[in-house]
Structure 1
Amino acid sequence: MTSLIDVIFLLLLFFMLSSTFSRYAEVELVAAARGNAAIETPPLFVQLSPDAVTVNGLPQDLASLSLPEGEQRLLVSLKPDVTAQRLTDLLVALRRFNQITVTVLTSS
């Protein structure tokens, strides 16, 4: 019985040391709702690829992303090889802007 406890302890120790406890970015998602008020400005088109971000066709860096002031609508188009973590990084970078509405376009 003592050796079984030792084996269980060693397995517990192994799994605790081999697992990672890193926390990934969390993004709050809100379901789309029908709105009554229309935004006057045309939407910005953001194209996300695995190695680049373009806003209305102009390349930008994800760390220093800049958008016009005021209420904006963003349409985000994803290239085929974009990972979920890359999309999360973009959404985290967009958190610092106020009054933006993000719509992620999906292919059907």
Structure 2
Amino acid sequence: MNIAGLAIDRRAISMTLTRRAPDSYDPDTGKAITGVPAVIPIKAVIQPATGNQLRDLPEGVRTEAQWLLWSRSQVQLDDTVTHKGINYRVVYVWPRDEGAFYRAALGRTTK
């Protein structure tokens, strides 16, 4: 097991991740069917992003991203993470080939 994975396991706390299923199409009515959101309990760490970490992000994402999330649970772009009543939108996910964890940049969506 790698060091980052051990740190995540020791510091992670419970929160929820909401992922909306893709929209589909009803051929009988010709209307779109909105995807149903799935609420998934996860354990993760959320920390404020530093200047160096923000520099690693694409330019258009930097202004929205103020937090970093580390988790062993799969995280995807546009997921919503909720912790202590605060919603964060996943605005960027770093591609990972190793490590068995996910790292994402979050933007706060509610006060």
TM-score bin, normalised by smaller chain = under 0.3
Structure (1 or 2) with the greater helix fraction: 1
TM (normalized to structure 1)? 0.23
Bigger Rg, which one: 1
TM (normalized to structure 2)? 0.23
